[in-house]
Structure 1
Amino acid sequence: MPAPPVSPPRVLVFGTGSVGAVYAWILFRAVGPANLYTVCRSNHAVASTAGFTINSTIFGEGLNFKPQVVRTVDEAVSLSGGKPFDYIVVTAKAIHTTPSIPEQLRPAIAPHTTIALIQNGIAIEEPYRTLYPDNPLLSCVVYLPATQTAPAVIVHREIELLHIGTYPSNAPRAHQSAAEPFARLLNAGGGSTELHEDVQPQRWSKLMVNASWNPVCALSRSRDAQFLKSSPPEYSLGLIKSLMTEIASIAQSLGYDNINADTITYQINRAKVRELPGVEPSMLADAKVGARMEVDAIVGNTVRLADERGVHTPLLRAIYALVTALDRSFQRELEKKTQVQVNDKGRLGEQSRI
């Protein structure tokens, strides 16, 4: 008797902005619309009615798809009839929330659920490991220049590559074995993956980009190529190289000797060959609309690790102070808007009772 067909895995994508939408498209092709749930916030109204549209130099233009679109994890669990999820893919910004992102995932976590973090920053994994020590945890480093140009409309270009490794690298064998099936799932949807026994060197290499370009571009309101052209190389390029050198020093203090001058040259050259205006880093995209930025995950954690290791990082500390102040200014504006909305609702309520 032939074996019964294997059902596709059930996947929940938490945070379906630019990067999340592209990986939702890849997973959509692998598991189909009935098995893919996406948690959306600001783009929920469009995504839930018209779906997502991807315009990609790699996958194609005008790609429209509509998974199961929800606002919360609780809604996803309810809509799925309480069935467990095989994978939870976290693509939300790594920022502080109340409750925290790991806490918000709890209703969807089953004993076999694999959690995959496709987020920027360094030292971001421990909160998930603390709450879910028995679940496989995958730390993923993504190269995917994508921008949400309108709600649920994504422009993607240049590259799509996901480095995948178990966290920690010495996790139990059963946890380590979860990385390969996840990679195969993404490959089935057209994604590109690389597996690593220890993915942290890749995370440090990407951090060179994130902790240098992201805050500098946000503070200068410039894309990477625009910033390089804004002043003589000894100033613009010199600043980026100096920041990357400090980041490499921290990585080397932790035993990652392959994060060195060659890594800096590679990452610098990726920006130098881009035509104007260049790539828009995520912090710049957030700054343009006054949204919260991943300051602590990207820069703050880097500075804290430097302090713990006794590594001198004066430029990173200065950048951290500046970009933290910018982020706090956005938070104050968001709080003002929220208060105005609350007051307006109160006045409307009073009018309705008159």
Structure 2
Amino acid sequence: MSRVLIFGAGGVGSIYAYILLQGGASVTAVCRSNYETVKRDGFTINSAIWGEGIKILPGVVRTVEEAANTDWDYVVLCSKAMPGASPSTAQVIRPVVGTGTTVVLCQNGIHIEDEYRRVFPGNAIVSAVVYLPVTQIAAGLIKHGNLEILEHGNLEILEVGTYPSDAPAEHKDATVRFAELFRKGKGTIDVFDDIQSRRWNKLIVNGTWNPLCALSRSMDIDLLSASENASEMVFKVKMEIVSIAQAHGYKEIQESNARFLMDRVKGRRPDNGVYPSMVADAVEMRPMEVEAIVGGALKAARERGVGTPFLDLIYVLIKALDNSNRRKRAQT
């Protein structure tokens, strides 16, 4: 039986706990704000594809240190990516990463893997791109998807690959074994030789809607309809991300990718827009994934001399908002 520790047991972490439990793994979740509820009652999942009122009871610990006496096969990170934080998430999870542990990064952003490679140079690192519309609406209570999203595509896809792409064969094998475990739990997962192409494709979404909606406190569809030039501006931001990806050799990331992802939002009903995750973080004055999503893109742009006037401005504004919120939260 595979032993899995999930770090970041919110919406994404709870769904992956469910899938991996279904796949036959022994799963423990590191819970923080929801610890008391999940320890007592487990998670309750209401899913548009799996049904209502699903109860799961994984093992529960409050801290990483409480889980340090187990040899974990996989440590699955479903927390926000915060490059540059001190201590780094890699340092926080060090007590539970043994010589044979595979670290799975179910996190947004670009260039987020480097800090894990530095801390765990000999471990298999699986970089994962998450497509999972899920929210923890109360402690331990999970809402996964809705029927309209289901009509337009899959509600649950995980794309994975090793970091780096030329990792040793045993790291490739570890990635395949994780995918097999995930599929046993009826999860949808695809393995890629170079996952960074898929990260760039996801960044076309995250690098636009997340900061712009957070700054405007808007749902995506409301942002588009707010002014006559909103759609053109959002698309230009997406194309800056396409240009950065292409400059790094990912020629398959093209205007058609940006156009498809733009049209998918335009096709929504006005009453069924989406608040990207960064909006809730901004409203609740929680730390936002500014560096992982926007800062990482700009770093990659500078490496290849790509001009990014829209992303430059977005970064200045969302970074200022994040810093302001952190100061206010520290004062409360």
**What TM-score does the superposition give when structure 2 sets the normalisation length?**
0.94
Alignment partner of 2:132 out of 144, 156, 172: 144
Matched, 1:169 2:156: no
Map Cα deviations across residues 178-208 of structure 1 (whole Å, 9 max, x no partner).
1111111111112100110011110000000
From 255, 265, 268, the equivalent of 1:261 is: 255
Amino acid at match of 1:192: T
Does the Cα contact within 8 Å between 1:87 and 1:113 map onto a contact in 2?
yes
- How much identity, in percent, do the aligned residues show? 46
Tell me by how many angstroms 1:302 deviates: 0.7
Residue 52 of structure 1 and its aligned partner are, at CA, apart by 1.2
Q: Once structures 1 and 2 are overlaid, which stretch shifts more, 240-249 or 275-284?
A: 275-284
CA distance in 1, matches of 2:207, 2:142: 24
Which residue of 2 is the match for residue 343 of structure 1? none
Q: Does 1:270 align with 2:264?
A: yes
Structure 2 SS opposite 1:16: coil
Shift of residue 226, structure 1, vs aligned partner? 2.0
Is residue 208 of structure 1 aligned with residue 201 of structure 2? no
Alignment of 1:207-226 (within 5 A): 207-226=203-222
- Structure 2 equivalent of residue 330 of structure 1: 325
One of 10, 24, 30 as aligned partner of 1:17: 10
Matches within 5 A, 1:234-245: 235-245=229-239
What letter is aligned with 1:84?
A: D
Alignment correspondent of 2:65: 74
| 1:57 equivalenced with 2:57 (yes/no) | no
Deviation at 1:300, TM superposition (A): 0.6
- 1:276-322 per-position Cα deviation (integer Å, ceiling 9, x unaligned): 23122110121121111100000011111111211100000100011
Q: What's the CA shift string for 1:79-103, capped at 9, x where partnerless? A: xxx2200000001001254321101
Q: Distance in 2 between matches of 1:22 and 1:239?
A: 35
Question: Residue 313 of structure 1 aligns to which amino acid in structure 2?
Answer: T
CA offset digits 1:200-259 (Å, max 9, x no partner) = 110000000011010011111111122222222xx2211210100000110010000111
Aligned residue for 1:346?
A: none
Letter in 2 for 1:23: Y
- Structure 2, unaligned runs of 5 or more: 150-154
Q: Secondary structure at the match of 1:27?
A: helix
In structure 1, what is the equivalent of residue 19 of structure 2?
Answer: 26
State the alpha-carbon separation in 1 of the partners of residues 12 and 263 from structure 2. 23
- Indicate yes or no: 2:194 matched with 1:198: yes
Larger Rg: 1
Which segment is superposed worse, 36-45 or 189-198?
A: 36-45
Give the structure-1-normalised TM-score: 0.88
Unaligned runs of 5+ in 1: 1-7, 338-354
**1:348 alignment partner in structure 2:** none
Aligned partner of 1:42 in structure 2 is 33
Q: How does 1:181-192 map to 2 (within 5 A)?
A: 181-192=177-188
> 2: distance between equivalents of 1:63 and 1:16?
16
The code of the aligned residue for 1:269 comes to D
What is aligned with 1:350? Answer: none
User: Equivalents in 2 of 1:130, 1:330: separation in Å?
Assistant: 30
- Is residue 101 from structure 1 mapped to residue 89 from structure 2 by the alignment? yes
Asked if the contact 1:137–1:166 (Cα under 8 Å) also holds between the matched residues in 2, the reply is: yes
List, as ranges, runs of 4+ consecutive aligned residues in structure 1 with deviation greater than 4 Å: none
Change (3 A) 1:97 1:66: farther
The one-letter amino acid paired with 1:237 is S
Cα distance in 2, alignment partners of residues 236 and 145 from structure 1? 24
Match of 2:74 among 87, 96, 102: 87
CA RMSD of aligned residues (A): 1.2
Of the structure 1 ranges 148-157 and 138-147, higher mean CA displacement relative to structure 2 is found in 148-157
Cα distance in 2 for partners of 1:152, 1:93 equals 18
Please tell me whether the aligned partners of residues 53 and 63 of structure 1 are also in contact (alpha carbons under 8 angstroms). Answer: yes
Structure 2 residue matching 1:190: 3-state secondary structure: coil
